[in-house]
Amino acid sequence: MAVYYKSIVGSVANVGIVIATFSLSLLIFEIPSGAIADLFGRKTTIILGYILWIIALVVLYFADSMFGLISFSVLDGMASSLFSGADSALIYDTLKEEGKERHYKKAIGLYHSMWPLGAAAGAVIGGYIAAIDLKLAVLLSIPTAFMAFLFVLPIKEPKFHKEEHKNVLRQMKKSIKIAISSRQILILIGAGFILWGLGEASHWIDSIYYTFKGIEIKHFGYITGAAFGLSSLGHFLSHKFAKKVGDKNAILLTVGIWIVLFFSSTLMAGWPAVILFVIPALLFGLRAPVEEHIANAEVSSSQRATVLSIVNFSRQSSMAIFTPLVGYFADLYDLDVAFRASSIIMIVAFVIFFGLKSPKKV
């Protein structure tokens, strides 16, 4: 996607602005959308998200300027905010209704493994299409999104405790108080702010990084497919991994190794650099379900989607802040310098995670 943006706006810095706009839009609507999901239903919120996503893709197809890409990013951010928190809350409360919430890491890992698995296949096919025509790849995304919309329609909303009021601002205020009173959630927020702002954001401009490392565009689909495949595998194995080493150790191990690999990739060129850059997708997959499980265990059903959105808000706000800065330093120096500095600062997040309580293995 970054290559497509760059073909329209010209510079890495401008690409960073477009990406930051998405993050800014997402963070503006992040917490309100979580409150809407808690007050009016998670299924309704998710369906509305898919409708906005399809509209956003249509806008992207016709975009031929910075304004067009900014418009797409705003709509895409709104759509993503409606998914964020609502899907995890729906899954957790479905399991809780059946007395199986202890299996959440396994369920959410399987759920999240499906998206990158499908994306892996799509990336390989999309790589061929993009090599022919980048715009055609965007066009074909529209019917694909519509098919996903049809799949969510039969979903059954689980029963969960709802607040009697329908005041979104009141719901947000109460959930913020709950989030800042929980040590576990505060740690997830603080560490996530750094990791997403400086680590995950690097994958928004990964195709530019591959070009910088001397990789031809025809290989991008395979690389992206491999990254999604590793992420899918990580999500699928997350429950077993955390069960064996414990939730806290699972997070510390994956973050620590990720930082080492990320930094090492900046010291190499060509395929060795790309391989080290992509392997952390597996580590992300192993870590993400564990973090979600910790957050869900800290809140009640009536506040779940809103609190999860607050956690995601910290991540998206950091991307809105740091992505343009990474792009700026990449233009000023080069991507290796920008990513090297990012990986060093990410050590702070690793240290913050030491403050997590170690729950019983489940």
* pTM: predicted TM-score of the whole model, two decimal places: 0.76
CB atoms near residue 101 (< 10 Å)? 18
Burial of residue 121 (CB within 10 Å: 0-12, 13-18, 19+) is: middle
Q: Which CATH class is domain 2-152+167-355?
A: mainly alpha
Exposure b/e, 137-170, CB count within 10 A at least 16 = b: bbeebbeebeeebeeeeeeeebebeeeeeeebee
C-alpha distance from residue 291 to each of 52, 174, 312, 360 (Å): 28, 22, 11, 14
- Residues 234 and 358 sit within 8 Å (Cβ to Cβ): no
- 10-residue stretch averages of pLDDT, the chain, 362 residues long: 73 78 83 90 91 94 89 92 86 85 82 72 69 78 89 84 81 90 92 85 79 84 82 89 92 95 92 93 92 87 87 80 81 88 93 81 42
Token reading at 126: 């999309």
Q: What pLDDT is attached to residue 273?
A: 92
What residues contact 211, with CB distance under 8 A and at least 6 apart? 3, 217
Q: What pLDDT is attached to residue 320?
A: 72
Token reading at 140: 């074909």
Q: What pLDDT is attached to residue 104?
A: 85
Cα(278)–Cα(25) distance, integer angstroms: 27
Cα(209)–Cα(194) distance, integer angstroms: 20
Token reading at 251: 């997070």
Burial of residue 44 (CB within 10 Å: 0-12, 13-18, 19+) is: middle
Q: What pLDDT is attached to residue 358?
A: 64
Q: Give me the residue spans of the domains in the chain.
A: 2-152+167-355
- Residues 96 and 104 sit within 8 Å (Cβ to Cβ): no
How many degrees, rounded to 5, is the angle at CA 122 between CA 128 and CA 33?
135
What residues contact 302, with CB distance under 8 A and at least 6 apart? 38, 160, 161, 162, 163
Q: At what angle do helices 280-297 and 220-245 cross, to 10 degrees?
A: 50
Candidates 30, 42, 32, 35; CA nearest to 89 is 42
Token reading at 114: 């499906």
Token reading at 139: 């066009």
